[in-house]
Amino acid sequence: MTAETTLEPVANPRASFFRRLPVVSHFNKSVGLQRFMLVVGLVLTGIFLLTALAAPLLAPYGFAQLSDADGNFPTQQAPGGKHLLGTTVGGYDVLSRVIWGTQTALLVIIVAVILSIFAGVILGLVSGYIGGWLDRILVVVADAIYAFPSLLVAIVMAIVISGGQSSLLGGILAAAISITVVFIPQYFRVIRAETIRLKAEPFVESAKVVGASNIRIMTRHIYRNATRTLPLIFTLNASESILTLAGLGFLGFGIEPSSAAEWGFDLNKALADTTSGIWWTGLFPGLAIVWTVLGLTLVGESINDLNDPRLRGRKRISRKAPAASAGPGTETELSNP
């Protein structure tokens, strides 16, 4: 509980700034399968991000486009020809909606994670630092929300915010806020626990003695130290927010098809098609969800494993060590990781 837990040697302090960046330092620490998983995750996530940014260039049609110069799009057309991935029952182009969907997903992730970090960190800091009855109430409420099925919390919030469906901005905000409410307890718990631990540290005491205000201690001294674990929760939550958004959309609490493309909503509409053997309307939006969640989860999991010494893969030196020729090489490698 003392200095050794706060001063975890995450990266070599002498290494360059670039090598100490979260993902880069993890990459350098990883070996074998772990490095492979991290790289696959980064590639999947990278492609997702690029698609979202370049959606206007990549998508052959608009997400709500139903016709072009040659007339109306056919409905439920099989993949091929003008529509590479076919068209939906409503006559939308599947490929275009999958591509535009990346933008919706990215926007929701960004808004949801930023909002929940803000709210969760502030509540956690205040609750942990001030303590007393405020702390107790917040903890009980956060625990109750945390224990509850997150999808249901999101549904209740979606009803409150928009009463169901809405425009692009309203829909994205509604989805993001619903997801935020689910996530706040997680950030709150982590930050609060860290704050309580840090509050007893000598450097906080000395700051008090010097006469620093409570606000200053919270924002300067504790905040900096308490937020170390956030990148990990961030990646895991980003993938969970995609799943929650898709779940909301699947239950009909999504964004209307005319205001934005949303994968969960498209899957809901595709459900009836499945029974008649029409696979392309559901398969591609579903694969897009799996792709994105897989990428983000692989990155998050790898970072998690690399932070945990029990799970971190070990560099294989034991087999080479007995051989005299390999000895010096492995030793230098070890001393300068």
Partner 1 sequence: MTSLIDAPPSDADALLPTKKKAAGGGLAQYILVRFLLIFPTILILVTLVFFLMRITGDPITAAMGGRLPPEQLQERIHTAGYDRPLLLQYFEYLGQLVTGNFGTTLSDNRKVTEMLTTYGSATLELAINAIIVALVVGIPLGMIAAHRRDHLPDAVLRILAILFYATPVFFAGMLLKLVFSVWLGWLPVAGRAGTRTELSLTALEAPTGIYWLDALRSGNMAALSDVMSHAVLPALALGLLTAGVFLRLVRTNVIGTLGKDYIEAGRSRGVSEYRLVTKHAYKPALIPIITVMGLQIAVLLGGAVLTETTFEWKGLGFQLANYLTARDFVAVQGIVVLLAVIVAVTNFIVDIIAALIDPRVRY
Binding site for partner 1 (CB under 8 A): 32-33, 37, 136, 139-141, 143-145, 147-152, 155-157, 159-160, 163-164, 189, 239, 243, 246-247, 250-253, 264, 267, 270-271, 274-277, 279, 282-283, 286, 289-290, 293-294, 297-298, 301, 310-311, 313
Query: How far from 87 is each of 84, 282, 286, CA to CA, in Å?
Result: 9, 11, 15
Q: How far is the CB of 313 from partner 1 (least distance, A)?
A: 6
Q: How far is the CB of 268 from partner 1 (least distance, A)?
A: 8
Give the position of tokens 């983000």.
Answer: 296
**Cβ 153 vs Cβ 182: under 8 Å:** yes
Question: Which of 118, 50, 270 lies closest to 126 in space, CA to CA?
Answer: 118
By beta-carbon proximity to partner 1, the closer residue of 207 and 298 is 298
By beta-carbon proximity to partner 1, the closer residue of 34 and 51 is 34
Q: How far is the CB of 309 from partner 1 (least distance, A)?
A: 11
**Cβ 229 vs Cβ 283: under 8 Å:** no
Q: How far is the CB of 251 from partner 1 (least distance, A)?
A: 5
Q: How far is the CB of 219 from partner 1 (least distance, A)?
A: 25
By beta-carbon proximity to partner 1, the closer residue of 276 and 335 is 276
3-class secondary-structure state, position 15? coil
- In the chain, how long is the greatest CA-to-CA distance? 77
Q: How far is the CB of 209 from partner 1 (least distance, A)?
A: 28
- Rounded CA-CA distance 34/42 in Å is 12
Q: Is 202 exposed, middle or buried (0-12, 13-18, 19+ CB in 10 A)?
A: exposed
By beta-carbon proximity to partner 1, the closer residue of 147 and 209 is 147
By beta-carbon proximity to partner 1, the closer residue of 43 and 54 is 43
By beta-carbon proximity to partner 1, the closer residue of 29 and 221 is 29
DSSP 218-235: IIIIIHHHHTTTHHHHHH
DSSP 45-106: HHHHHHHHHTHHHH-SS-TT--EETTEEPPSSPPSBTTBTT-B-TTS-BHHHHHHHHHHHHH
